[in-house]
Amino acid sequence: MTLITADFVLTCNEQFEIIEEGAVLFDTQILEVGKASILKEKHPTATLLQTPKNSVLLPGLINSHVHLEFSANQSMLRYGDFIPWLQSIIAHRDELSALATTELMTCKLHEMLKSGTTSLGAISSFGADLEACVNAPQRVVYFNEVLGSVPSAVDVMYSDFRGRLEASKEFTCKHFIPAISVHSPYSTHPILAKKALQLALDEGCVVSTHFMESPAERAWMDEGSGDFQSFFSAFNPHAKPMCTSVEYLALFEKNATLFTHGVHANQAELHTIAEQNATLTHCPVSNRLLGVGALDVEAVENENINLTLGTDGLSSNISLSLWDEMRSSLMMHSDKALNTLAKTLLQSVTCNAAHALKLPCGALKEGLASDMIVVTLPQECAIETLPLQLILHTHHTHLTFIDGEELC
């Protein structure tokens, strides 16, 4: 039993309680959270772990959406507009895959850990990241991706996906949880999506999907027009959307789903996402680099949608650090009140993400796993501005615990 004390304990509980001169008593699980003076007196035999001046203890961060298999990209892909990016990723897929070795992905996972990410939702397109994810120190929800728009190839695509899912299931444990990703409405035939989503229900898997990311996706799904029309007509001059966006959302009605991006989701779609008790995963840097616009955070909040944050992959980002992502988000949503947005962002990478990914962590609360980080601020800070100052100044952790075990 260890008693860790800190100048601030940011619990990320329902009340978003911040305890000054706080402490957490823990082993593999959190046993008690409170004022340091009270817990010290109550548990005199616990091993005392003191942290430096201006320390903050908070839950380990959770990156809801990251493509590790594209980690080798730095400057190869084309940014600024969605379809040119998509064309560039298709053109460079083999080259990038060859460069994304297990060693490289393991190194990226360690960098993520150093920045405080103790859990992640890994979107796996090919299964090449399996070994790195299985051996990662973090908790990984491993989303096996399915896609395919050609009806005659549905069976082949499904059995390839099924093979990857089965291979990942061999490693199921409390740190590695297989899951399912249906790529997107423009790339996945509804028959294929339906089969994968039924499997997710049967196996109790959470689901992730890209949804309404770009203006091109909006125009294609609504009218079969725009940049996707020229893109698809190169393969098939008669190509048309495989379903409507309403039909696509309805496929996920019974699943626990993380809808990623949603930048171009309309109010009715956001309402459906809310009604389905689903999550919206925001990837602000990716959205900026792919030139798709900025999420209407207000509209998501008005619908009371569970909001999480993802870095996406290095295919559409320059960093996999959630602190970098939160800083960018603060700057991007300049219409939002700064301190309120900082709090929303910290919730999006802790309690909200644990809820979406069904992980037993994400808050400093009795009974949850001891996934915790200690970070230090450069100077003293008023409690009211703590979330904001944390986001502005944090790069790496001072201490990191997963299941109560100290790492790094």
Residue 312-351 contact track with ligand MCF, rule CB under 6 A, x = bound: xx-xx-----------------------------------
Q: How far is the CB of 84 from Fe ion (least distance, A)?
A: 17
Binding to ligand MCF (CB under 6 A): which residues in 69-108? Answer: 70, 89-90
- With CB cut-offs between 5 and 8 Å by kind, which of Fe ion, ligand MCF, none does residue 119 bind? none
Residue 139-158 contact track with ligand MCF, rule CB under 6 A, x = bound: ------x-------------
- With CB cut-offs between 5 and 8 Å by kind, which of ligand MCF, Fe ion, none does residue 213 bind? ligand MCF
Comparison of 312 and 403: residue with beta carbon closer to ligand MCF: 312
Quick check: 188 binds ligand MCF (CB under 6 A)? no
Binding to ligand MCF (CB under 6 A): which residues in 253-292? Answer: 286
Buried/exposed code over 151-168 (b: 16+ C-beta within 10 A; e: otherwise)? eeebeebbebbeebbeeb
Contact 285, 63 (CB under 8 A): no
* Catalytic hit among 17, 20, 103, 213: 213
Of the candidate spans 72-80, 191-199, 310-318, 389-397, the one that interacts with ligand MCF by CB under 6 A turns out to be 310-318
Comparison of 29 and 87: residue with beta carbon closer to Fe ion: 87
The residues with which 144 forms a beta bridge, in sequence order, are 124, 180
| CA 111 – CA 108 distance, rounded (Å) | 5
Of the candidate spans 36-44, 129-137, 222-230, 311-319, the one that interacts with ligand MCF by CB under 6 A turns out to be 311-319
CA dihedral 239, 245, 246, 251 (to 10 degrees): 80
| CA 286 – CA 87 distance, rounded (Å) | 16
Q: From the CB of residue 53, how many other CB atoms can be counted at a distance below 10 Å?
A: 9
Of the candidate spans 165-173, 243-251, 270-278, 308-316, the one that interacts with ligand MCF by CB under 6 A turns out to be 308-316
| CA 256 – CA 143 distance, rounded (Å) | 13
Q: How remote is the C-alpha of 239 from its chain's centroid?
A: 32
Q: Which residue's entry shows tokens 């089969």?
A: 195
Q: How remote is the C-alpha of 318 from its chain's centroid?
A: 16
Residue 296-315 contact track with Fe ion, rule CB under 5 A, x = bound: ----------------x---
Quick check: 129 binds ligand MCF (CB under 6 A)? no
Q: From the CB of residue 325, how many other CB atoms can be counted at a distance below 10 Å?
A: 28
Residue type, 352: N
Give catalytic status of residue 111 as yes or no.
no
Quick check: 183 binds ligand MCF (CB under 6 A)? yes
Comparison of 25 and 283: residue with beta carbon closer to ligand MCF: 283
Q: From the CB of residue 343, how many other CB atoms can be counted at a distance below 10 Å?
A: 18
Residues in the chain: 408
Continuous H helices in 146-189: 154-169
Q: How far is the CB of 319 from Fe ion (least distance, A)?
A: 15
CA dihedral 185, 187, 189, 192 (to 10 degrees): -100
3-state secondary structure of 266: coil
Residues of this chain that interact with Fe ion (CB under 5 A) are 312
Residues of this chain that interact with ligand MCF (CB under 6 A) are 67, 70, 89-90, 123, 125, 145, 183, 187, 210, 213, 286, 312-313, 315-316
Q: Which residues are catalytic?
A: 213
